[in-house]
Amino acid sequence: MNQVQKPSARLIVRLVIAVCLLGTMPTITAHPKSAKAATEYAVGSPGPAGGIVFYVATTPFKCGVDLTAECTYLEAAPNDWNSGIGSDPMLTWGCINASHSGAQGTSIGSGFTNTAAIMIACPDVSGSNSAPAARAADIYAPSGLAADWFLPSKDELNELCKYARETGQAAGGSTVCSGGTLRSGFTAGDYWSSSEHNSINSLSQSFQSNGAQYPESKILMNISVRPVRAFARVVSRPPTVTTNEATLVAASSATLNATVNANFGDATVAFSYATTADLSGATEAATGTSVTGSTDKTSTAALTGLKPGTKYYYRASATNSAGISPGEIKNFTTTGALPTVTTGSASSIKASSADLNAVVNANLLKTTVVFFYGLSADLTDGKSVSTRDITELTKVIDISAKIEGLVKSKTYYYRVEATNELGTTKGDIKSFVTSRAQGVTINDGAEFTNSKDVTISVVAPAGSVKVILSNDGGFGSSQTFDLVDATADIAWKLVASRDERLPKTVYVKWVSRFGNETTAVGDDIILDTTIPVLSNVSAEANTAPASAVTVAAVKKSTGAKIVVYAKDANSGVGKIEIKSSKKGKTTTVIYNKPTAASQTVLVKTTAKTLYVRVLDRAANASPWKTVTVK
């Protein structure tokens, strides 16, 4: 059974091509007067569809499926058109035992019509109802170029013979090809035309010296085939441009891409880009690679100096002699962002030093990391300690910094900050408490206490597991306590003595895991349980200076001068407390010299009655005294 190819789809394509013979090529010239704006070709020059021009008409000839279009040139398929073999195939004309309407044309321009008619009449791929010679020409379509090739008519074949034999004969007319020498790539034998002679024969032509044209049986298999096509002067038109996606996008660079068809011209390509969606404002331009020819080609432009983490909009445009064509606007976003940071927990905490830790992601940009630390919870007193610049731009990095010169038993606040060219990111504020120095302290090193119940804080040497406490150096009465990580806070009771001015000492021994006891160490504190004496208070009105303390909120600079007379025989007077009512807010003033007999205090207040008391340095408080402002 013969394989049949339906003609409908192919014919539709050919009819579309016939309207403009160049298919995907630029528009054909409708009138000779347009030639001054068109591309000119000469015999022997490359044709627009990849062939060789072999005929140039002095005036346009009728061409196309209905011979209403006008063409000027004929080009022949290149020597390697037959799948790169380099020689023309020998095929039967086929379609025998019948005449086919529309396939009898012999003039220049009728080959396309003949071939279309043959393919309608004999659409099969093989068998008696096939046309191998016409089919070979009809299906020839170089990649990316025209698809309107056909088997030449009698007169078109004669012009091809003149070119193939380099006869030097004038184009056109009734002169039969003769003489000359056959060019390489052509067969020294007969070639088929598309002009049908009758139901049995079709016209062929010898490409030998005599160039004779005569009818040959359609079934002969020793006759060669060479496709040709007709085209008009190519009128220049603007390029076609497609803006493609950007590639190689980095923090400060990117490559812009476009597909451009120069449409038979020389096209320059430019890319416009900006941070505005409509490319308005400070738009910059980058030159893309130039494009020539009539096929789609890629043009690129490398951008540098871009801002990281920024969205850019861009568009390609191409210009040739016929005008400029813009592509659509696309966008890309450069890589990079603000650093991301996490403040970690402090480690290796000692009495005077600690290690601060954090995790930082540079987010593709060179980043500098700094820790801030201080004693205030909001870091208003913060000091900075630099770590290093991060160059591992694609990794999450652990960062550490050692801080020294700290005060023991203090709460320190800290956070990490990382900066790149987009700005600074701050981590959460965290805190740690420095450890105590090795040894023993009573009430965290206080000098005085008003209670026999105190807290003993011990920091033992490494390897210690227990601590022995005693109120006497001979350890006649003692207690043993377990240590955790060589430290402990122990509730302890002092032994009172008759003279409270003498310090109370607590003695300590460390016990190692091997049971060895160290030499005793200790700390002392003054136990003061006696309240201070507030012997007298006087107050007189005056204008309060700016340095006066406020006892009650006032709207004018009225106040009082208070003279406080107090003493404490053990720990000394430590503070003065003043308030304007029995349940009012207390204002505290430091007693500058604990052993002084009196101290003057200037206050801002409108109250006429004040309440005053004193506290010694062991926090024992005197009774409140009421004083009238005179």
- Provide the domain count of the chain: 5
Question: 105 lies in a domain?
Answer: yes
Task: Return the number of other C-beta atoms located less than 10 Å from residue 621's C-beta.
Answer: 15
**Residues 301 and 255 sit within 8 Å (Cβ to Cβ):** yes
Residues 218 and 345 in one domain: no
DSSP, collapsed to helix, strand or coil, labels residue 403 as: strand
Which tokens is 506 given?
Answer: 């607590």
Same domain, 518 and 554: no
31 in a structural domain: no
Give all strands (DSSP E) within 10-78, no chain letters: 38-39, 52-63, 69-76
> How does pLDDT run across 155-210, given as a tens digit for each residue?
999 999 999 999 999 888 788 999 999 999 999 999 999 999 999 999 999 999 88
Instruction: State the amino acid at position 319 in one-letter form.
Output: T
Considering the domain architecture, whether residues 223 and 248 belong to the same structural domain is answered as no
Full domain range(s) for residue 304: 240-334
Domain co-membership, 430 together with 443: no
Closest C-alpha to 521, from 506, 533, 511, 535? 506
Amino acid at 389: D
Q: Which residues pair with 75 in a beta bridge?
A: 53, 229
Question: Whole-structure pTM over 0.85, yes or no?
Answer: no
From residue 144, how far is each of 41, 48, 234 by CA, in Å? 20, 11, 17
Q: What is the pLDDT of residues 554-571, one digit of tens each?
A: 666 688 999 999 999 889
Task: Give me the chain's average pLDDT, please.
Answer: 88
| pLDDT of 13 | 42
- Cβ atoms within 10 A of the Cβ of 4, count? 13
Claim to verify: residue 182 and residue 141 sit in the same structural domain: yes
* DSSP type of residue 139: H
Residues 594 and 618 in one domain: yes
Confidence tier at 28 by pLDDT (50, 70, 90): very low
* Together in a domain, 227 and 146: yes
Say yes or no: 323 and 347 in one domain.
no
Q: What is the pLDDT of residues 336-383, one digit of tens each?
A: 999 999 999 999 998 899 999 999 999 988 899 999 999 999 999 888
- DSSP-derived 3-state class of residue 126: coil
Please enumerate in sequence order all residues whose Cβ is within 8 A of that of 489, keeping only pairs 6 or more positions apart, or say none: 455, 456, 457, 458
Residue 392: the pLDDT is: 72
Give the Cα separation of 204 and 223 in Å (integer).
8
Domain identity same for 303 and 318: yes
* 372 belongs to a structural domain: yes
Q: Return the H-helix or E-strand segment holding 160.
A: helix 154-165
Is residue 14 classed as helix, strand or coil in its secondary structure?
helix
**How far, CA to CA in Å, does 626 sit from each of 72, 427, 601?**
124, 52, 15
Q: What is the pLDDT of residues 94-107, one digit of tens each?
A: 998 888 999 999 99
pLDDT band at 236 (very low <50, low <70, confident <90, very high): low
Both 417 and 459 in a single domain?
no
266-309 pLDDT, tens digit per residue, is 889 999 999 999 998 756 677 888 888 778 999 999 999 999 99
- Looking at residue 379, its pLDDT comes to 93
Look at residues 140, 138, 225 and name the one whose alpha carbon lies nearest to residue 190.
Answer: 225
Domain end call among 315, 334, 353: 334
Q: Does residue 25 form part of some domain?
A: no
Q: Report whether pLDDT(214) > 70.
A: yes
Check residue 280 and give its pLDDT.
Answer: 86
- Whole-number Å distance between alpha carbons of 130 and 218: 11
- Model confidence at 232: pLDDT above 80: yes
Confidence of residue 17 (pLDDT cuts 50, 70, 90): very low
| β partners of residue 493 | 453
| CATH classification of the domain holding 328 | 2.60.40.10
